[in-house]
Amino acid sequence: MIKNSTQYDFQYDFRVDSQLKIIKLLQSGEKSINYLKDNLGISFTAVSKVVNQLLEYKILEKAYEKPSKGKLGRNPVLFKLNTSNGLTCSVDFSSMDITITLNDLSGNIVSTRTIPNTLYINSEVLSQTSLYIKEMLASKEAKKRKLLNIVVACPGLINKNNGEVVSSFRYQYKNNPSPSAFFFKEFGAPTYVYNDIKIACIGEKASGVVPKAALNYCLIHIGNAVGAALVFDGKLYQGQFGFSGEFTNDEELKESTGVERNRLRGLWYIAEIVEEKDPKSSIIKDKFRIDFDKAEKLFKENNEAFDEGLKALAKQNAQQIIAYNDFLDLEYIIIEGSIVKFEKKYKEYLLENIKKYSNNFRAKLIFSSLEDKASLKGTIFQANRLYFLNKLENIANEQNVNGSYNIFDSFGDNI
């Protein structure tokens, strides 16, 4: 959608774009003006002007490189992010082992806590999460820095406009406040909630295997259940109501719940085949969970029932992936989730079926390297990006007599 922009907006779009690129470059460490100039492809004067403004607003600070031995004169000036401005918080509800982290503005984890073996996200879990955040903020590692914002990765359908949980078998939303309302009440910090697979897609682009130049790709999560996220033209696609990427239609399963339909396409499908073919080797823990340690053991032992299940799942997934790719014409398809533990054989079976059922599969298939940490990486990246976007919007509006520049019209709230 093309926004109704003024010449003023375009002027600030260009400046903000340069500011964001400089911030991104400095997240990997201290840099000189010359380094920034060479990487941005703009003049020394233009870079200096942007850097000086970021210094003025304390987003950056000066650092000094130690001179070479015996070298006289001033120490060369470098620039770095001012990480004393505060910390962001990431809450990753995507896994049964919930992870909570405090992060500096360079994206480094300062402190972390875990709530293990958690099936349902209820009031008790929310309270424990809040307690851990408070504990970390009071720790030596936090250095009394303030909490800037909180980003939550949550399984289920999330309203893209207000972050409320619409539907989730793990988040007991009917008896609890939304994560955004709960954490905002606890900390007074802006809180943003994203579907765990969508934020994992951002994590893969920021820290994983997705090539930096990629603009059109799909991330498919295969764990107990299956989910997906799509990026078009470099922007995360959420759909009209935020429900894009949900696999919830099976003609033969009309009466089943969305959770059951989803699970049949994930590792639960393997678990059901093992249960039927080799009951003694069952990997089902309870109604929703799989024993992944036992699954890995069966895989390493070349258990026939497990291998049969892996083949059947690969066939089913291949048909889904082909349909997605044929319709959307993607550059890359990234496979993420617990299935990566079985990558070697699964990939072999998957490619066999793709070749069998498709004559023109153009997308490059890539497996995640983040070891089930894509959602967490995504929340860290997103928390920092949102902080900087809000900060830069405020700077622009201080210089705009109308105070009407909306940075999100041009840069969105995602990649």
DSSP string covering 275-318: HHH-GGG--B-SSS-B-HHHHHHHHHTT-HHHHHHHHHHHHHHH
| Burial of 218: CB neighbours in 10 Å, binned 0-12, 13-18, 19+ | buried
Q: Please give the pLDDT value at position 252.
A: 34
R_g over Cα of the chain = 24
Pairing verdict, β 191-195 and 60-64: unpaired
334 φ, ψ to 5°?
Answer: -105, 130
Q: Please give the pLDDT value at position 1.
A: 33
Residue 106 tokens read as 């360079």
Residue 284 pairs in a beta bridge with 290
Reference 335, options 355, 348, 325, 321; nearest CA is 321
Residue 157 tokens read as 């359908």
SS3 366: strand
What is the DSSP track for 90-141? EEE-SSSSEEEEEE-TTS-EEEEEEE-S---B-HHHHHHHHHHHHHHHTSGG
Sequence-ordered list of residues with C-beta below 8 angstroms from that of 315, at least 6 positions apart, any chain: 349, 353
The mean pLDDT values, 10 residues at a time, for the chain of 415 residues are 48 86 94 94 93 95 70 75 96 95 96 94 95 97 96 90 84 81 96 93 91 91 88 85 60 41 72 95 88 95 97 94 91 94 96 94 94 94 95 87 78 68
Note if the pTM is more than 0.85: yes
